[in-house]
């Protein structure tokens, strides 16, 4: 391993500057626009579904966007697609973990990356053992010709390169967060620290860096759709350097092409959110961001159960998430302990729950 410091090589082009300005413009605009329960339940969940669908599709997942939603929302199964279903469930679990890290302002670390990767590969399990980096060489080949497309660094060098990358991500300097996130994506994919799941983990790491850096847009955008729109361009942008071998030019390659591609996609994704939020602002709705940001994905979705009734049962929660009775009871109790729900009727036979008072105003605008 050469140097103990990661030093990306790239140039700031006029196009990159223009797109960075577009991103900043939207970032300054969004906080003043109302994000209420209707927007958050629909657009935020749509963003999560898009992230899951497109990120797994990039890796060859055959489930359509509609099928991904059915797997997630109704626990539906598709014969012969068990691996695809497991990938979807794993990605969703990893998204939940990334959101948890964002809420707790947890710093990017190797331990966090290993945990995210374990969830990506865990088929929806929430209790997983962090995955160590690969212990051997792997090669990326063209699926049709079998030709070598990329040969990552040797396993012995991976820990050092990952340590450098994490230190660089957390460095205190003037590099704009969007550039840092895009470069982190590139370098993680270049190091390729695992045998499988590198692309999905790289995209989750990118989101984590952006959100922790203040570029969350209330969780309403999904960069993965931009990548999936033209996969050839995505892979071409990632393919930098004169050789497919990490040690023969890839390590010190000029990645301006990738940075330009990434920033353009981020600017396009941000513009879409501005249009959506502006439409909601025209309706004169109130902004509930401060209240809603404390809820996790499942709690936000569960708000929909209170659309027609101020009280719900555990059975309704079970039906929404496909839980077994024991799991449902545990989830409801956690929500009570967290101050999300309150016990409306403690009787085991007729147990019912209501929202904590702080969320009642949110439900008033649920349509």
- What single string gives the DSSP state of each residue in 183-201? HHHHHHHHH--SSS-HHHH
Alpha-carbon Rg for the chain, nearest whole angstrom, is 22
User: Are 67 and 53 within 8 A, CB to CB?
Assistant: no
Chain-centroid distance, C-alpha 76: 22
Token pair, residue 44, equals 């935020």
Pick from 29-33, 160-164, 274-278: least confident: 29-33
SS3 355: strand
Count the Cβ atoms, other than its own, within 10 Å of residue 283.
11
pLDDT-based confidence at residue 365 (cuts at 50, 70, 90): low
Token pair, residue 229, equals 């729109």
> For residues 35-46, b (16+ Cβ closer than 10 Å) or e, as one string?
bbbbbbbebbbe
Please give the pLDDT value at position 182. 93
Q: How much is the pTM?
A: 0.73
**Domain edges within the chain:** 14-281, 295-363
pLDDT over 90 (residue 164)? yes
Q: DSSP of 105-142, one letter per residue?
A: TPPP-HHHHHHHHHHHTTTT-SS-PPPPPPSS---EE-
Average pLDDT, whole number, for the chain?
80
User: What's the average model confidence in pLDDT over 193-198?
Assistant: 89
Tell which wins on pLDDT, 169 or 252: 169
User: Are 121 and 134 within 8 A, CB to CB?
Assistant: no
Q: Strands 148-150 and 140-141: what pairing? A: antiparallel
User: Are 239 and 150 within 8 A, CB to CB?
Assistant: yes
Structure confidence by residue, pLDDT tens digits, 19-49: 999 999 888 877 666 655 555 555 566 666 6
User: What's the average model confidence in pLDDT over 270-277?
Assistant: 78
Please give the pLDDT value at position 51. 62
- Architecture per CATH, 14-281: Orthogonal Bundle (1.10)
Structure confidence by residue, pLDDT tens digits, 99-128: 888 888 888 999 999 999 999 887 767 778
Structure confidence by residue, pLDDT tens digits, 305-355: 887 778 888 888 888 887 888 888 888 888 998 888 888 887 777 788 888
User: Are 45 and 292 within 8 A, CB to CB?
Assistant: no
User: Are 182 and 266 within 8 A, CB to CB?
Assistant: yes
- Between CA 113 and CA 131 the distance in angstroms is 9
* β-strand partners of 245: 151
Please give the pLDDT value at position 38. 58
- Between CA 166 and CA 168 the distance in angstroms is 5
pLDDT-based confidence at residue 188 (cuts at 50, 70, 90): very high
User: Are 182 and 206 within 8 A, CB to CB?
Assistant: yes
Tell which wins on pLDDT, 196 or 358: 196
How much of the chain, in percent, has pLDDT values that exceed 90? Answer: 22
Please give the pLDDT value at position 85. 75
User: What's the average model confidence in pLDDT over 139-166?
Assistant: 84
pLDDT over 90 (residue 179)? yes
pLDDT over 80 (residue 57)? no
* β-strand partners of 318: none
pLDDT over 70 (residue 97)? yes
pLDDT over 60 (residue 150)? yes
- Topology, domain 295-363: Arc Repressor Mutant, subunit A (1.10.10)
Please give the pLDDT value at position 340. 86
How much of the chain, in percent, has pLDDT values that exceed 70? Answer: 76
pLDDT-based confidence at residue 72 (cuts at 50, 70, 90): low
pLDDT-based confidence at residue 163 (cuts at 50, 70, 90): very high
Please give the pLDDT value at position 367. 47
């Amino acid at each position: 391993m050469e140097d103990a410091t990661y030093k990306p090589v790239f140039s700031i082009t006029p196009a990159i500057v223009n797109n960075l300005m577009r991103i900043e413009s939207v970032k300054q605009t969004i906080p003043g626009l109302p994000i209420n329960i209707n927007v958050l339940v629909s657009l935020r969940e749509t963003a999560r579904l898009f992230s899951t669908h497109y990120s797994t599709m990039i890796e060859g997942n055959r489930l359509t966007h509609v099928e991904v939603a059915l797997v997630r929302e109704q626990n539906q199964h598709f014969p012969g697609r068990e691996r695809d279903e497991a990938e979807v469930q794993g990605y969703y679990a990893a998204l939940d973990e990334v959101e948890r890290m964002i809420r707790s302002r947890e710093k990017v670390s190797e331990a966090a990356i290993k945990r995210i990767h374990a969830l990506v590969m865990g088929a929806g399990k929430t209790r997983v053992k962090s995955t160590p980096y690969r212990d051997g060489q792997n090669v990326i080949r063209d699926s049709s010709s079998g030709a070598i497309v990329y040969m990552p660094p040797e396993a012995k060098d991976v820990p050092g390169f990952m340590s450098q990358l994490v230190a660089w991500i957390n460095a205190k300097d003037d590099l704009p967060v969007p550039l840092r996130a895009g470069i982190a994506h590139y370098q993680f994919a270049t190091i390729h620290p695992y045998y499988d799941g590198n692309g999905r983990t790289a995209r989750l790491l990118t989101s984590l860096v952006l959100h922790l850096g203040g570029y969350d847009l209330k969780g309403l955008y999904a960069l993965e759709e931009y990548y999936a729109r033209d996969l050839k361009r995505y892979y071409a942008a990632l393919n930098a350097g004169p050789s497919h071998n990490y040690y023969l030019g890839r390590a010190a390659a000029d990645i301006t092409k990738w940075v330009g591609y990434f920033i353009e996609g981020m600017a396009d994704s941000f513009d879409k959110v501005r249009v959506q939020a502006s439409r909601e602002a025209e309706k004169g709705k109130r902004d509930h961001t401060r209240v809603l940001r404390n809820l996790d994905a499942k709690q936000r979705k569960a708000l929909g159960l209170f659309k027609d009734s101020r009280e719900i049962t555990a059975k309704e929660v079970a039906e929404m998430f496909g839980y077994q009775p024991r799991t449902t009871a545990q989830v409801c109790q956690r929500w009570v302990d967290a101050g999300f729900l309150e016990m409306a009727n403690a009787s085991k036979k007729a147990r019912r729950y209501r929202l904590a008072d702080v969320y009642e105003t949110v439900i008033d605008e649920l349509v």
